[in-house]
Structure 1
Amino acid sequence: MTELANAFLKHGYDVTMVMIEPPFKSSDSGASAIQRIAASNPSINFHVLPALPAPDFAASGKHPFLLLQLFLEYNELFEEFLRSFHRRRLHSVVLDMFCVHALDVCVKLDIPVYTFFASGASCLSVLTQFPALIAGRRTGLKELGDTPLDFLGVPPMPASHLIKELLEHPEDELCKKMTNIWKRNTETMGVLVNTFESLESRAVQSLRDPLCVRGRILPSIYCIGPLVSKGSKDGDDVDRNECLTWLDSQPDRSVVFLCFRSKGTVSAEQLKEIAVGLETSGQRFLWSVCTPAGSRDAKKYLEVRPEPDLDTLMPEGFLERTKDRGLVIKSWAPQVDVFRHRATGAFVKHCGWNSVLEAVSAGVPMLCWPLEAEQKMNKVCMTEDMGVAVELRQAL
């Protein structure tokens, strides 16, 4: 959203970013994150809505996606904030893909409203067509397994590759709420998609096709990506990450970069297997590691995890044996700078869209290991349509 705000600033608009405090504890509170981002972007105004009480989702065991319902309770505060602007000054509102409940406020106040879809056009196309797919079904899609589903604008999509919560029974609470969120994403005046047309031309055209959703005219689709951080400035050695210094000593296009930091869904056992594979391969590597989540339920999204203990997570002696050709770091890697470094030759990733765009923009080929959310859908389109990656398949 900050990168999008900076794009608007370049076009001469004033930008205010409205946010709420996360309703759960994390390793980085919303307040400190906003302060840090605001300090780096002084031209953007940041406004945090007063916090409202939230249920204890970690204790209830409910899926974190249901937290999105809390945004509806902020509509009154959001309306009050919008009314504080002189109407002539307020050009429009751009909603995050998960904040579509605020659409009702904008309609009420007659303010032009758009959606910002932070993932790709292929994902948006599938999710936009999904409600029609399950309309009238009496069973969920899980029973279809890997049966390919035909969606306009994307390669045949195995049913199992959809967001797993959408595979449940159509009347399941989570499935219904997710379906409604995706439907409302295309009920605004237009959708700003974080992509560029030459990367996903088929998907973009499908969203402009009257047959995409029969009986419904979709709003205008605008490709405004890739919204990718500029990285550090050339020659800026202040606080330069150790991994960049290490890359300086490696041959051109010789290093494989691995990063699976999204929610820590790689288990401790898998980390050890990856280490064994890297050591056996003889390949130069840069590996960003985080502490695995304690479980694969909703709590993994909410828990605060300590810094990883590499001596415990890695096979005995691994770090010593591979020190001449590999570097394992337990901090965030400056991905944009890593991708743009001459020594980086390939990227192993879970297929989160931000990382995909960063790698594509730097011309770095990818090995896909999708883990959750829309990542398997991204993998299909990256390997079969875009031609920027190959799938990394796990041995049985």
Structure 2
Amino acid sequence: METEKVNLVFLPSPGMGHVISTVEMAQLLCFRSPRISITVFTMRHHRKPSLTSLTSSYISSITSPNITFIDLPYPSDFHVDPTQNGETIISLYIQSHIPLIKQSIQNLNRPISAIIMDLFSTTLIDLADDFGVPAYVFFTSCASFLGLMLHLPSFHGTDFMDMKKDGLAVPTLPVKLDPLALPSPMLDKTNDAYEWYMYHGRRFKDLRGVIVNSFVEVESHASNSLSAARAPPVFMVGPIIDVHPRRQERRHECMEWLDGQPKNSVVFLCFGSMGAVSAEQAKEIARALEGCGYGFLWAVRVHDKVERFGLSLEADADAEMESLFPEGFVERTGKRGMVLKGWVPQKEILAHPATGGFMTHCGWNSILEGVWFGVPMLAWPMYAEQRFNAVLVTEVVGVAVGMELDYGGNGGVVKAEEVERGIRYLMEDGRVRERVGEMSGVSRRVGVDGGSSFAEVGRLVEEIMGERMNGKAS
């Protein structure tokens, strides 16, 4: 008699970082229990079609027999309001999928045991209630930020900027936080994006559990704080990252260039799939790279509409590469540097022995990859919770160094002298390199038998199976 399957539904946000880590989590659960079968509902990106294409390409590379993908159509009644903040748009966009998701689950024609959603998807908790199944969130950021979101309702009525002098105490951080390191919408309580952060923070307490893409050893303070708090159960199962290179028709040209560079000699600059700098900022970065003397590999993304520490969802500017830099920059640095526009194989670059430093926007997936491959990081946060992440990795974990960045928005551009200082510190500070090397070893051990994350995944599987056995599935 065939063993009955335990069917789970995963609902990631449409961003690549969310989709990849969610699918990797799904594969891990299927690996740990052959009884688990997972359906992943993917949403089309609401503002950037090229990201939808990247998602489709990634999904086509997945061959797990127990994972099925269903591409949801774009909701006919949803329209992006460009005046709204990103957190508002994504929350409303996901909410608009409820009828589509409900119908798609009914079309599965099999009972489901749980719905696992994204951190901006808590409007779907009521949908899980309709099906009589528990709801979990797969939290694709750090456990420390989860603690902030859970605690946010208790801060309501408080002006965060009043805490700037003494610092803001967040239970999951062992250091005081400059309020300007919070996501920008949290500083404006009249903003609807702030209300959405509040909403999600309140709804987390209605969940059966939160699955966090982090591990106890990298966030021990947050782990202890969350365990002691009256919060939903937390499963720290990370690092969940796609560290296996995908098969490609040919090796990327930058990899051949890296092959010819000395060990730990190259600084890699990359600000994620949605981060961009202005043309003026690009010139300052170029001057810093020329002045520091180190080898560099720079994934350039420039847009003329990008704001300070900005998020760009528009098409890339069509400016010629040479016009972005000081005159003669490419010629003068051609032997020790390489500039690329567009997609680059970040994991493969970080894994290469020539890569000695990583200037990053502090997206959580990128931080986990930097730790996994043992590459010290230079924190240049841009949007969302990345400023918060930067505090964690520089002041608490010690795997990154910081720069003097004007979070208040005055001054606009980080000058070449400060960028160069940061690069030199990154490449020359042996303490950070030693620390990230230690954490790299830890990150590779926690997911194997005997490791903390291995045990957390086992605990999660047991709970999901228990829900099924107790007859609580739809």
Query: TM-score with structure 1 length normalisation?
Result: 0.89
Shift of 1:186: 4.1
The whole-number CA distance in structure 1 between the counterparts of 2:300 and 2:128 is 42
Amino acid at match of 1:382: V
**Structure 1 residue aligned with 2:187, among 140, 148, 167?**
167
**Structure 1 residue aligned with 2:253, among 226, 242, 254?**
242
The answer to whether the 8 Å contact 1:116/1:192 transfers is yes
Is 2:289 aligned against 1:270? no
* SS of alignment partner, residue 37 of structure 2: coil
**Structure 1 residue aligned with 2:132, among 79, 90, 110?**
110
The answer to whether the 8 Å contact 1:125/1:152 transfers is yes
Amino acid at match of 2:293: G
**Structure 2 residue aligned with 1:229, among 242, 247, 258?**
242
**Structure 2 residue aligned with 1:291, among 289, 302, 321?**
302
The whole-number CA distance in structure 1 between the counterparts of 2:205 and 2:346 is 31
Aligned to 2:462: none
Shift of 1:360: 0.2
The answer to whether the 8 Å contact 1:290/1:308 transfers is no
* TM alignment of 1:133-212, pairs within 5 A: 133-134=155-156, 136-137=157-158, 140-142=159-161, 144-145=163-164, 147-154=166-173, 155-169=175-189, 171-210=190-229
Shift of 1:387: 1.2
Q: What do the CA deviations read for 1:186-210 (whole angstroms, capped 9, x no partner)?
A: 4211111111111111111111113
Is 2:405 aligned against 1:384? no
The answer to whether the 8 Å contact 2:212/2:234 transfers is yes
**Structure 1 residue aligned with 2:232, among 219, 228, 233?**
219
Over 3 Å counting, the alpha-carbon distance change for 1:266 and 1:54 in structure 2 is farther
Over 3 Å counting, the alpha-carbon distance change for 1:237 and 1:69 in structure 2 is closer
Shift of 1:319: 0.6
Amino acid at match of 1:223: M
* SS of alignment partner, residue 40 of structure 2: strand
The answer to whether the 8 Å contact 1:165/1:175 transfers is yes
The whole-number CA distance in structure 2 between the counterparts of 1:226 and 1:378 is 15
Aligned residues: 380
Over 3 Å counting, the alpha-carbon distance change for 1:103 and 1:48 in structure 2 is same
* SS of alignment partner, residue 321 of structure 1: helix
Aligned to 2:449: none
Amino acid at match of 1:21: R
Q: More helix by proportion, 1 or 2?
A: 2
Over 3 Å counting, the alpha-carbon distance change for 1:261 and 1:307 in structure 2 is farther
The whole-number CA distance in structure 2 between the counterparts of 1:174 and 1:259 is 27
Over 3 Å counting, the alpha-carbon distance change for 1:277 and 1:382 in structure 2 is same
* SS of alignment partner, residue 303 of structure 1: coil
Aligned to 2:440: none
Amino acid at match of 1:232: P
Aligned to 1:213: none
Aligned to 1:363: 374
The whole-number CA distance in structure 2 between the counterparts of 1:356 and 1:387 is 12
Shift of 1:253: 0.8
The answer to whether the 8 Å contact 2:275/2:312 transfers is no
The whole-number CA distance in structure 1 between the counterparts of 2:318 and 2:113 is 44
Shift of 1:265: 3.4
**Structure 2 residue aligned with 1:42, among 63, 84, 100?**
63
The whole-number CA distance in structure 2 between the counterparts of 1:128 and 1:219 is 10
The whole-number CA distance in structure 2 between the counterparts of 1:106 and 1:305 is 39
The whole-number CA distance in structure 2 between the counterparts of 1:310 and 1:152 is 46
Shift of 1:47: 1.0
**Structure 2 residue aligned with 1:2, among 23, 48, 65?**
23
**Structure 2 residue aligned with 1:82, among 105, 109, 122?**
105
* SS of alignment partner, residue 217 of structure 2: coil
The whole-number CA distance in structure 2 between the counterparts of 1:157 and 1:168 is 17
Q: What do the CA deviations read for 1:149-195 (whole angstroms, capped 9, x no partner)?
A: 111121211111111101112x5322112211233234211111111
Shift of 1:272: 0.5
* TM alignment of 1:20-39, pairs within 5 A: 20-24=43-47, 26-28=48-50, 30=52, 32-39=53-60
% of aligned pairs identical?
33
The answer to whether the 8 Å contact 1:57/1:64 transfers is no
The whole-number CA distance in structure 1 between the counterparts of 2:54 and 2:249 is 21
The whole-number CA distance in structure 1 between the counterparts of 2:55 and 2:396 is 37
The whole-number CA distance in structure 1 between the counterparts of 2:241 and 2:124 is 26
Unaligned runs of 5+ in 2: 1-21, 406-413, 416-474
Q: What do the CA deviations read for 1:296-338 (whole angstroms, capped 9, x no partner)?
A: 39x9644222566211111111011001111111122211111
The whole-number CA distance in structure 1 between the counterparts of 2:356 and 2:116 is 37
Amino acid at match of 1:165: P
Over 3 Å counting, the alpha-carbon distance change for 1:186 and 1:340 in structure 2 is farther
Q: What do the CA deviations read for 1:85-124 (whole angstroms, capped 9, x no partner)?
A: 4554x23211011111111011121112210000111111
Query: TM-score with structure 2 length normalisation?
Result: 0.75
**Structure 2 residue aligned with 1:69, among 76, 92, 102?**
92
Unaligned runs of 5+ in 1: 211-216
Q: What do the CA deviations read for 1:254-279 (whole angstroms, capped 9, x no partner)?
A: 11111124433322111101110110
Over 3 Å counting, the alpha-carbon distance change for 1:368 and 1:55 in structure 2 is same
The whole-number CA distance in structure 2 between the counterparts of 1:54 and 1:239 is 42
The whole-number CA distance in structure 2 between the counterparts of 1:389 and 1:70 is 34
